Every structure is written in C-alpha cells, then in structure tokens.
A and B are shown apart, each in its own frame.
Chain A
C-alpha cells in the first residue's frame, strides 16, 4: 500500500533560520505531490503541489519543494522562517490518473521562536 513518511514530528527554530522538512513516499508508479499547512486555529490549506515539469516548485509565503524521483522524496524548504510560519505541515500524495485520494503523512509541527 502507498504510504508517506515525514521524518520529523516536531521542529523548533528561531526566526531567520532555514527550514527543511523531509517527506518520502512509497509507490512505484507516478504520483502527484502536495504540501498542506494548518496554521493554529485555521483550516488545512494548500502550500504547493507538483505533478509535472520543473521538479522545483514554488508555493505561497516563500516556500518551495523539490521532487527527487530517484529518492522518492519531496522535501519542503524555506530559506528564512518567520514566527508566522508556526504551523503543522503535512506532505501528501495522490496517484497520477487516479481519483484524487490524498494519502497524508503524519505531519510535522513547526514552532518558530522570535
């Protein structure tokens, strides 16, 4: 069965530090990849997604992610975090050609201290 692994459950950073959150998936076929974010008290919302083309994808609020097919990875990065980036981040996949069933990782809680 397909699965998604997020390496870090909790990350604590100071403002201006760089961020990289790991995500790996297990599936032999073609996938579409997503990062969703949930800010405190808010809904889950899309940060960025990749389904084809340039494997470096840019999303909202300065986030980017790189798809490395050989490593089955889709890591999320931001060069300089802000206190407002404190949130829970979820990596997810759907199967290409499928019906949009999102398979989520367990999430990473990020706390950014001023």
Chain B
C-alpha cells in the first residue's frame, strides 16, 4: 500500500515570503493531520480534517497559516507571510477513523522548511 506523500521535501525561503506544502494521504483514509515539528521538540498538531471538514485547528496560527482539503483527499498547508520561527519540519499524517482516539496515524516524510 502506498504511504502518505508530501512535497516538496525541502524548502528555503526568506522571511515574509509565502510557501505552500502539499499532502496526499493513504487512499481511503478519511482523516488528515498537519503537524509542525520544531527542532528538539515533538510534533505539534496544527490542524485535523475529517473528510472536508475541520475537526481541530486550535493550534493553527490563523493570522498566517491556512489549510484546505479539497474533495476530502489532498491537502495544502500555506504560510503567508513566513517568520523565522516557522522554520520546522511539517508532517502530514492520515488515519482511517479518529473516533475514540485509538486509530493509528501514518506519517509522511515531512517537508523541512528553513526561513532565512
């Protein structure tokens, strides 16, 4: 079975520029997650989609970050404008059914963002 796909794998931008990341989850997985992993820390959930709808975006900095999941499949995460503190690895994950909190999440390879 194909895993979670992400692109690009690496991105270097200057502060105040915009950037977008793309994620394609495992086929049939209704739930998609975006995590931010800053160096030396564990991943932190930014946003969770259930099909097309947003389940949790409580930790998404909405003044600069946005995300969408068109047709309940692919998703894009955008940062506009980027700040130095946005330098991190952005992980996408997917799972079958999030209800109950026991579902295994499958992670993609991540996008490493460096903001100069």
Q: Which residues of A contact B (CB under 8 A)?
A: 4, 32, 36, 43-46, 49, 51, 90, 92, 94-107
Contact = CB atoms under 8 A, between A and B. Distances in A.
Given A43-B108, A100-B31, A101-B48, A106 B41 contact: yes
Contacts, number: 73
Contact of A107 (B4, B42, B55, B95): B42
A18 to B, nearest CB: 24
Contacts of B43: 44, 90, 102, 104
Given A98-B100, A99-B55, A100-B102, 7 more contacts: A36-B107, A45-B107, A97-B100, A99-B50, A100-B100, A101-B101, A107-B42
5 interchain residue pairs of minimum CB distance: A104-B42, A100-B98, A94-B101, A44-B107, A51-B102
Contacts of A46: 104-105
Interface residues of B, number: 31
- Interface SS of B by simple majority: loop
Nearest to B4: A43
Given A4-B42, A44-B91, A92-B42, A102 B105 contact: yes
B56 interface: yes
A106 B38 CA distance: 10
B44 A96 contact: no
Interface string B26-40: 000001010100001
